Structure 1
Amino acid sequence: MKGRVAALVMALLLLLYVVLVAQRAYLFLRTGEPIAVVLGAALVVLPLLGAWALVVELRFGARTQQMVRELAASGELPVDDVPRRASGRYDREAADAAFPRWAAEAAESPDDWRSWFRLGLAYDACGDRRRARRALRWSIKLRGEAAAASR
């Protein structure tokens, strides 16, 4: 829930930022001065890139949340029994010890989005966010392909 609220706050702040920057960009572009026009154009492009990145992240979060609900409903979501430190982060050694199980499952079922999703969760518990996101993106792709094939 905190993540959703944080994402909503960030989206609203980005929207406010885009409006304020668009106003400045318009003023720069109206001057007709070459340097001001270039600055105005940059002020249009950069917020658009930020908005695009936010939309991509929100879609990623929505899809992974949908997958969590689906796995939880079918009883296939792994039990979160890895001990945590006082900070709330997973104990790295315990997470590393549990990791081979999920890696082997993904290797045995390379076309199953569920196994890749669980592997992504395991990578995240081990602190490897880059591989976690890559595994979760792959899981999203496989799930989409499976849904398209079943139509």
Structure 2
Amino acid sequence: MTAKRTAIVVAVVFVAYAVLLGWRGALLIGTGDPVAIVLGIAVLAIPLLGAYLVWRELQFGRQTETLARELEAAGGLPVDDLPRRPSGRIDRAAADESFTKYKAEAEAAPEDWRVWFRLSTAYDAAGDRKRARASMRTAIAQHARTP
């Protein structure tokens, strides 16, 4: 629940930032000076791009949460029983060992969104966030294709 609250706070802060930045962009455009108009348009583009990126991240989180609930209802969520260091981080060797199992499952059934979801959690446990997000995107795409 903390991640969801953090996302909401970030979205609210972004909206405030976008409104203030948009207002400044409109003021620059309103001056009539050609350089200020170009700068104002550029300033208006920043919140638009930011809004798109925030929307994409919120969609990714919502879709991931939907898949997690569905997998949990079916009893297919991976159990978080990996040993942890005193700092709370997962032991890297144990995460790597667990990862091998989930990678083999994904290779055996590449069209099954469930194995991609589990592979994503294994990548995350191993500390590879980039591949974890890519695997989760694959799980989301496979889930969308599932009848």
Q: TM-score, normalised by structure 2?
A: 0.96
1:105-130: CA deviation from partner (whole Å, max 9, x where unpaired): 00110100000110011001101111
User: Which residue type is aligned with residue 40 of structure 2?
Assistant: G
Matches within 5 A, 1:92-111: 92-111=92-111
Matches within 5 A, 1:1-151: 1-146=1-146, 150=147
CA shift, 1:44, in A, is: 0.6
CA shift, 1:88, in A, is: 3.0
Query: 2:76, 2:56 → 1: CA distance?
Result: 26
1:3-28: CA deviation from partner (whole Å, max 9, x where unpaired): 01000000000110011111101110
Cα distance, 1:86–1:35 mapped onto 2, change above 3 Å: farther
CA shift, 1:98, in A, is: 1.1
Q: Identity of counterpart residues, as a percentage?
A: 49
Query: 1:87, 1:114 → 2: CA distance?
Result: 30
Query: 2:87, 2:41 → 1: CA distance?
Result: 44
Query: 2:44, 2:36 → 1: CA distance?
Result: 12
User: Which residue type is aligned with residue 32 of structure 2?
Assistant: G
CA RMSD between the two structures:
0.9
Cα distance, 1:134–1:43 mapped onto 2, change above 3 Å: same
Query: 2:145, 2:139 → 1: CA distance?
Result: 10
User: Which residue type is aligned with residue 94 of structure 2?
Assistant: A
Q: Which runs of 5+ in 2 are unaligned?
A: none
Question: 88-97 or 43-52: which moved more?
Answer: 88-97
Q: Which runs of 5+ in 1 are unaligned?
A: none
User: Which residue type is aligned with residue 70 of structure 2?
Assistant: E
Query: 2:113, 2:144 → 1: CA distance?
Result: 9
Query: 2:58, 2:86 → 1: CA distance?
Result: 29
Query: 2:29, 2:86 → 1: CA distance?
Result: 52
User: Which residue type is aligned with residue 61 of structure 2?
Assistant: G
Once superposed, which parts of structure 1, at least 4 consecutive aligned residues long, lie more than 4 Å away?
none
